[in-house]
Amino acid sequence: MRKAFSIVFLLLLASITLAGPRKGQTIPDQKRTLQIQSALIECGFLFGPPSGKWDNETKEILRKIAKDHNWQTRHVPDARTLIMLGLSKGDPEVLDMPNHLDYNEGAPERVPEEEQ
């Protein structure tokens, strides 16, 4: 039993190592969070000093901004929201383009496998 556990553990460790780092950022670091919160404060969406913590209030404000513009709300911060806040060099014209990820109307609660 112990040998089987060791083999399974080594295989799991090898698969994680071979898979490499995940693509994309899952949670903004403290410096980026401060930038986002400062922009939200400057635009009047958030009040008080920025905390630098990726908290629920910050995420909910970003979701509300995205939802108000009919942008996707599952993954925050959304690229378009960052462009709107002046925190991305992205093309401002994308703010008016439709997005295939706009699921605000009747969106399922679970993110489809192919979008993860």
List the chain domain ranges: 29-91
Mean pLDDT of the chain: 77
Q: Taking residues 78-88, what's their average pLDDT?
A: 89
Q: Taking residues 64-81, what's their average pLDDT?
A: 88
Q: Taking residues 54-65, what's their average pLDDT?
A: 96
Token reading at 86: 């002046």
Residue 116's pLDDT band, with cuts at 50, 70 and 90, is very low
d(CA 80, CA 115): 18
> Is the Cβ–Cβ distance between 26 and 78 less than 8 Å?
no
d(CA 66, CA 36): 14
Residue 75's pLDDT band, with cuts at 50, 70 and 90, is confident
pLDDT at 102: 47
Highest mean pLDDT, choosing among 26-30, 104-108, 110-114? 26-30
